[in-house]
Amino acid sequence: MPVVSLKGPKGRIVIPHFPIDMVAINERAQSFTKRSIKKESKIKALFLAIEMMDLTTLEGADTPGKVRSLSAKARNPLAPSYQDIILKKGFPPIPSTAAVCVYPSMVKIAKESLEGSGIHLASVATAFPSGQLALSMKVKEVERCVLEGADEIDMVINRGAFLSGDYQTVFNEIIAVKAACKETAHLKVILETGELQTFDKIRLASWLAMEAGADFIKTSTGKVQPAATLPVTLVMLQAIWDFYQESGKIIGMKPAGGIKTAKQAIHYLIMINEVMGERWLTPDLFRFGASTLLNDVLRQIFKEATGQYFYQDLFSID
């Protein structure tokens, strides 16, 4: 079996590297879209999906006002008048989301907006989305985000180094960024799977990131297509499971980009349950990178509560 050998802080680390059966992965991933679930389970899944969402605004046109608006939506995804409608139908209140994710320049604004909410504050860093920056500057950016209040850092790996076979550089950079997070922030490592080309490389990058100290591994920046897909997420989940079996370390998973409908979100939750078990069905170990998903989930909840769809524009625009 081919291996990748890396120099770690405590000696050599060997990562098993083997070909993945693409046909089998695609077939199994497709099977998760064919499960039939009862209404009660569907409703629970929709509420859980909201609790697992990272609401994100990562555009050049981001403003303090947009970040404050997104933070308010994370706190209260639904206006009180609409909340009352579903409460009268015996449904629980709509929960807040797991996190808000912003650029480093907006961390202070988001921190103030989320104060006291219990919602996590994530910031993309390390020259998101390209990752093309000197390591010393990447580390400084992370340190600044943590200092200003981010408790989650979403970093991108150096894909140029990875695709050139320079795995040691990728490994070293993740270790350095993890150290910059100190004990304050969790580290999500973005693989940008759309650029890694094969399932074999995606699994290798997943394992490398976990060995280097990732708390979560994440599919995509959302800026490259294809982004999150069921087969890619399945490959990463299997890597997480195998790593857990070997090391005892529990790592989280975040598919991001392209998950736009409640139906898609439920497919991912079914996959998590069947591949990883209920232990991973928590915002502490699974997140959706979502910018447009929330409104469709809210529409589906209203459909279950009232029997009719509400117009999309009744919900706030992200």
Task: Name the nearest CA neighbour of 303 among 28, 118, 46.
Answer: 46
Q: Which long-range contacts (CB under 8 A, 24 or more apart) does 308-315 make?
A: 310/82, 314/82, 315/78
56/215 Cα distance (integer angstroms): 19
Full DSSP string of 192-225: -GGGT-SHHHHHHHHHHHHHHT-SEEE---SSSS
- Check if the beta carbon of residue 97 is closer than 8 Å to that of residue 54: yes
Measured over the CA atoms of residue 173, residue 144, residue 190 and residue 49, the dihedral's sign is positive
Measured over the CA atoms of residue 47, residue 236, residue 190 and residue 33, the dihedral's sign is negative
218 annotated active-site: yes
- Check if the beta carbon of residue 54 is closer than 8 Å to that of residue 289: yes
244/250 Cα distance (integer angstroms): 6
Identified catalytic residue from 73, 138, 201, 254: 254
154 annotated active-site: yes
Identified catalytic residue from 73, 138, 201, 218: 218
Task: Name the nearest CA neighbour of 238 among 195, 196, 203, 193.
Answer: 203
Identified catalytic residue from 54, 154, 215, 296: 154
Classify 100 as helix, strand or coil.
strand
Catalytic residues: 154, 218, 254
